[in-house]
């Protein structure tokens, strides 16, 4: 059974604050936004929360031209002036939550077709009641299923035993795909970059040691700390201090540092990369450059990062192996980038400030 997330819904008229509380309490990756008129209208998750908090911190700095080009943000800003913002306005604000559905008898190929083009979740329809859903299948669950079968299937195990370089993933050596912040930058800047770039994690580079990769932050971990905080001061906290705050509880019981390492090498095997993605619950891992590797022309000379590998990249490898047509893991990213670049092309800035 590949269904790994139960359906937890939230009324479309509920406030974002109530939806956030429900998301944390239910301990699920997303909520289904339910409308009394049209059933489920969308999803709401930590990426949307991150995007919403960024909008809230920037609301008084938006130029009218920017708001005209982004009606969803304009609606949120307008609603915030009059009271609580409804979760329906924030659903898929991150542009990472398309409402993908599959029939109850969908097979692995059907799921690969959905996930290898950028979706992270698929709702499984109820056979007896098409308007209802049995649950949610995530890209992580599918990856876990493939990983388990790869270990017990000799041909698949051999296929996944090669270094990442062998699979010709262009993102491995494109430094411009690495979204990063310096360790002395504030938390809100990391949140803003994740929202603007449409990613769920960001690399944190040491501001004192030549931009060396030291850690990563993902939106779910970040919001679990930020949301319960009653003070906005946490948004201005330097990232190195915020990371220490996260790491501290992890090793408080036995002194061990169990904060996940969101990085692999380009010489890591595909199987090891899959295992790391599953273990860290991350959608992307940062790829570190080997000491013997010559930095690419597009990379920072001082950084030890050279690119990224995502869960979608890995699933795309198996989709091609299964002869799935039109495999393109960058489709959704291109749409998000196009949306982001259109806002910048207007020539109007979108300053972030904390009040």
302 and 158 co-located in one domain: yes
101 and 74 co-located in one domain: yes
The rounded distance, in Å, linking the Cα atoms of 65 and 343 is: 9
203 and 135 co-located in one domain: no
Domain termination residue (choose one: 147, 171, 202): 147
The rounded distance, in Å, linking the Cα atoms of 108 and 112 is: 6
Tell me which residue of 230, 231, 225, 235 sits closest to 187, measured CA to CA.
235
pLDDT value for 336: 52
Q: Would 351 be classed as within a structural domain?
A: no
Q: Would 34 be classed as within a structural domain?
A: yes
The rounded distance, in Å, linking the Cα atoms of 49 and 26 is: 15
Q: Tell me if 180 sits within 8 A of 197, measured CB to CB.
A: no
CATH number for the domain spanning 44: value is 3.10.580.10
Q: Would 126 be classed as within a structural domain?
A: yes
Residues with Cβ within 8 Å of 229's Cβ and at least 6 positions away in sequence, in order, are none
The rounded distance, in Å, linking the Cα atoms of 264 and 337 is: 25
The rounded distance, in Å, linking the Cα atoms of 264 and 194 is: 20
81 and 104 co-located in one domain: yes
Q: How many domains does the chain have?
A: 2
pLDDT value for 223: 82
Domain termination residue (choose one: 147, 165, 194): 147
Q: What angle do CA 7, 117, 191 make, to 5 degrees?
A: 70
What sections of 106-232 are H helices per DSSP? Answer: 108-115, 139-152, 154-159, 187-197, 219-226
Domain carrying residue 109? 9-147
Q: Tell me if 31 sits within 8 A of 10, measured CB to CB.
A: yes
Q: What angle do CA 201, 206, 209 make, to 5 degrees?
A: 150
114 and 193 co-located in one domain: no
168 and 312 co-located in one domain: yes
Q: Would 62 be classed as within a structural domain?
A: yes
pLDDT value for 32: 94
pLDDT value for 331: 66
The rounded distance, in Å, linking the Cα atoms of 195 and 340 is: 10
What is the per-residue DSSP string for 159-208?
A: HTTSBGGGGT-GGGG-GGG--EEETTSBHHHHHHHHHHHT-SEEEEE-TT
The rounded distance, in Å, linking the Cα atoms of 331 and 118 is: 7
pLDDT value for 220: 84
Q: Tell me if 95 sits within 8 A of 4, measured CB to CB.
A: no
Q: Tell me if 213 sits within 8 A of 303, measured CB to CB.
A: yes
175 and 224 co-located in one domain: yes
| Residue 209: Cβ-neighbour burial (10 angstroms; 0-12, 13-18, 19+) | exposed
Q: State the residue for tokens 């990472």.
A: 96
pLDDT value for 252: 41
Pairing of strands 180-182, 213-218: unpaired
92: left (phi over 0), alpha (psi -120 to 50) or beta: left
183 and 140 co-located in one domain: no
Pairing of strands 201-205, 180-182: parallel
Q: Would 349 be classed as within a structural domain?
A: no
pLDDT value for 254: 43
Q: Would 2 be classed as within a structural domain?
A: no
Q: Tell me if 157 sits within 8 A of 271, measured CB to CB.
A: yes
125 and 175 co-located in one domain: no
Q: Would 350 be classed as within a structural domain?
A: no
Hey, CA dihedral for 149, 150, 156, 158, is it positive or negative? negative
Q: Tell me if 264 sits within 8 A of 282, measured CB to CB.
A: no
129 and 57 co-located in one domain: yes
115 and 15 co-located in one domain: yes
138 and 160 co-located in one domain: no
Domain termination residue (choose one: 147, 174, 194): 147
Question: What token pair was written down for 65?
Answer: 């031209």
Walking along the chain (355 residues) 10 residues at a time, the average pLDDT comes out as 91 95 93 84 92 86 89 93 94 86 92 88 88 91 96 94 90 86 94 89 86 86 81 87 77 47 91 94 87 48 78 93 84 55 43 34
Q: Would 140 be classed as within a structural domain?
A: yes
């Amino acid at each position: 059974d590949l269904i790994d997330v139960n359906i937890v819904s939230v009324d479309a008229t509920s406030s974002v604050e109530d939806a956030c509380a429900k998301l944390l309490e239910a301990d699920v990756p997303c909520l289904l936004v339910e409308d009394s008129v049209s059933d489920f209208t969308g999803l709401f998750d930590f990426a949307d929360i991150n995007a919403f908090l960024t909008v809230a911190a920037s609301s008084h700095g938006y130029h009218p031209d920017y708001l005209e080009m982004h009606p969803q943000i304009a609606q949120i800003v307008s609603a915030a002036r009059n009271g609580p913002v409804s979760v329906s306005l924030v659903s898929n604000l991150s542009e990472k939550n398309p409402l993908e559905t599959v029939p109850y008898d969908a097979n692995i190929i059907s799921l690969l077709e959905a996930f290898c083009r950028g979706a992270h979740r698929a709702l499984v329809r109820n056979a007896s009641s098409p308007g209802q859903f049995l649950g949610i299948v995530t890209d992580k669950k599918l990856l876990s299923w493939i990983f388990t079968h790869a270990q017990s299937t000799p041909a698949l195990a051999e296929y996944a035993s090669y270094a990442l370089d062998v699979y010709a993933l262009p993102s491995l050596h494109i430094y411009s795909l690495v979204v990063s912040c310096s360790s002395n930058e504030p938390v809100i800047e990391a949140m803003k970059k994740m929202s603007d770039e449409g990613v769920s994690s960001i690399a944190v580079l040491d501001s004192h040691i030549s931009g060396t990769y030291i850690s990563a932050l993902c939106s779910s971990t970040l919001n679990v700390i930020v949301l319960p905080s009653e003070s906005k001061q946490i948004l201005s906290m330097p990232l190195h201090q915020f990371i220490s705050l996260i790491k501290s509880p992890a090793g408080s019981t036995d002194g061990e540092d169990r904060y996940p390492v969101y990085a692999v090498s380009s010489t890591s095997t595909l199987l090891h990369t899959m295992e790391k993605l599953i273990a860290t619950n991350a959608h992307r891992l940062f790829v570190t450059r080997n000491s013997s590797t010559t930095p690419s022309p597009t990379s920072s000379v001082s950084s030890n990062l050279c690119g990224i590998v995502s869960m979608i990249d890995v699933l795309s490898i198996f989709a091609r192996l299964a002869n799935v047509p039109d495999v393109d893991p960058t489709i959704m990213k291109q749409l998000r980038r196009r949306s982001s670049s259109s806002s910048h092309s207007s020539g109007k800035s979108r300053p972030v400030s904390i009040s």
